């Protein structure tokens, strides 16, 4: 796996928590950060198929949406 070096700023308390978690889990800070970033991206990214289903549902229920808006 190719790695890159990053630089960022975080609150001191958050950094202390991260270091403590790395120590408790016997991982490197880099490993914990990689896992955290990966989890965050996975949770935040909306898959295209989900957006397609949302659009279909909104279209199918347009009249209901209009009634609720009144």
pLDDT in tens, 14-62: 999 999 999 999 999 999 999 999 999 988 887 888 888 888 998 998 8
What does the alpha-carbon distance between residue 69 and residue 61 come to, in Å, rounded to a whole number?
Answer: 12
Q: What angle do CA 32, 36, 37 make, to 5 degrees?
A: 120
State the pTM of this model.
0.62
């Amino acid at each position: 796996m190719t790695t890159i070096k990053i630089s960022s700023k975080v609150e001191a308390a958050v950094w202390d928590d991260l270091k403590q978690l790395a120590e408790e889990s016997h991982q490197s800070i880099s490993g914990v950060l990689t896992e955290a970033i990966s989890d965050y991206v996975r949770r935040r990214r909306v898959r295209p198929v989900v957006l397609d289903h949302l659009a279909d549902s909104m279209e199918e229920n347009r009249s209901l949406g209009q009634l609720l808006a009144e």
